[in-house]
Homo-oligomer: A and B are copies of this chain.
Amino acid sequence: MSENLLAISPINDDQVHLLTDLDVNVFTPKELDQKISPADITIMYGWKQDISSKLLDATNSKLKWIHAISAGVDYLPLATLTKRGIKLTNASGIHATSISQSVLAYILHFVRGLDIAREHQIKHQWEKNADTNPATISDYKYVVFGTGHIGQQIGRLLQTLGGHTIGVNTTGHPAEYFDETIALNKIDDRVWHADVIINIMPLTDDTHHFYDSDFFAHFENLFLFVNVGRGPSVDSKALVAALEDGHVSHAALDVFETEPLPDDSPFWSMKNMIVTPHNTGVIRHFKKAQLELFMPNLKQYLQDGSFKYNQVDLIKGY
């Protein structure tokens, strides 16, 4: 039986042949019910709530595999997939280059004093103050929560620029590009004495509102808090308070509890704040990169039903 793939995430016309060459039939959402019955789709490429629900709800659905085009999969009905025996792969790794470069952009912005330079530039002030000499990367200590693909790329860049890197993960197992690692439930002073905290953990029950007022209260004066993971990992109100009372000096946020970020969010206008619209993981040539990630898994799956990489553990959620 040949596979029927629904390309919810679009595939370029000039690349569809890569799939059809493997005897995979490719359908677009518009062709559902017309050229193919929702129940006959076996592989879902990408996810959109309305279309995807239709496939999952179809009587006698033959769906066996969903490929999510994101790294985080918290928006999928993982319990349902478990019960139905549907396998899930994600795009972990594909965003590592772009996200890690944004994280470095945020860090260098504040470490090299571009925020201060900008204030003076607006006022046409040539201000060379010995008290505000810019620092360099090695002057600060970095803790990255999450030591997967993206976390490791962040660690690699910081190490290249002379930074000491501490990684936090579930068990404290060693991870490439980290000088030290700590288990999430055994956090110690190495975290509380950090200058820069970067969150790139998946969103799970354990990480929801992980960064709360208790967390921020540990810091005398955290230089920079970065969130490029998931918005709900941070208690927004607690972060706003920490920025106001000085427990945290600067923040760079790409993800938020509510997206789009509401017009009246204090984050927009707080000082010492960079807001980006959940686009650090967006990459140019995205369709091509996504398909390149997918193809080796597809080939393996067609042979024996397994995957080369990136299969999500539906219980753990990543």
Query: What is A's interface to B at a CB cutoff of 8 Å?
Result: 97-98, 101-102, 104-106, 108-109, 111-114, 117-118, 120-121, 124, 126-128, 133-139, 157, 160-162, 259-261, 263, 265, 268-269, 273-280, 282-284, 286
B117 touches A275 (CB 8 A): yes
A124 touches B268 (CB 8 A): yes
17 more contacts with CB within 8 A, not counting A97-B138, A121-B268, A160-B160, are A101-B137, A101-B161, A102-B134, A105-B105, A105-B108, A105-B114, A106-B114, A112-B280, A113-B276, A117-B275, A118-B274, A124-B268, A126-B260, A126-B261, A127-B277, A128-B278, A135-B284
How far, in angstroms, from A292 to B273 measured CA to CA in the complex?
Answer: 37
Q: Which residues of B contact A109 (CB under 8 A)?
A: 105, 109, 114
How far, in angstroms, from A90 to B283 measured CA to CA in the complex?
Answer: 43
Q: Most B CB atoms within 10 A — which of A98, A109, A111, A276?
A: A276
B136 touches A283 (CB 8 A): yes
Q: Which residues of B contact A280 (CB under 8 A)?
A: 112, 134
Nearest CB in chain B: distance from A102 CB, A: 5
CB contact under 8 A between A101 and B261, given known A121-B268, A160-B160: no
List the 4 closest A-B pairs by CB distance, nearest first: A126-B260, A105-B108, A105-B112, A124-B268
Query: In the complex, which residue of chain B has the Cβ closest to the Cβ of A112?
Result: B105
Q: Which residues of B contact A133 (CB under 8 A)?
A: 279, 282-284, 286
B98 touches A102 (CB 8 A): no
A160 touches B162 (CB 8 A): no
Give me 27 A-to-B residue pairs in the complex whose CB atoms sit less than 8 angstroms apart, sorted by A's number.
A97-B136, A98-B136, A101-B136, A101-B161, A102-B112, A102-B134, A105-B108, A105-B111, A105-B112, A109-B109, A117-B274, A117-B276, A117-B277, A121-B268, A121-B273, A121-B274, A121-B275, A126-B260, A126-B261, A128-B277, A133-B283, A133-B284, A134-B280, A135-B284, A136-B283, A136-B284, A157-B160
Instruction: Tell me which of B113, B127, B277 contacts A126 (CB under 8 A).
Output: B277
How far, in angstroms, from A108 to B114 measured CA to CA in the complex?
Answer: 12
Query: In the complex, which residue of chain B has the Cβ closest to the Cβ of A275?
Result: B121
Nearest CB in chain B: distance from A176 CB, A: 15
Q: Which residues of B contact A162 (CB under 8 A)?
A: 97
Q: Most B CB atoms within 10 A — which of A113, A117, A260, A284?
A: A117
A284 touches B126 (CB 8 A): no
B274 touches A134 (CB 8 A): no
CB contact under 8 A between A279 and B108, given known A97-B162, A162-B97: no
Instruction: Tell me which of B104, B120, B157 contacts A277 (CB under 8 A).
Output: B120
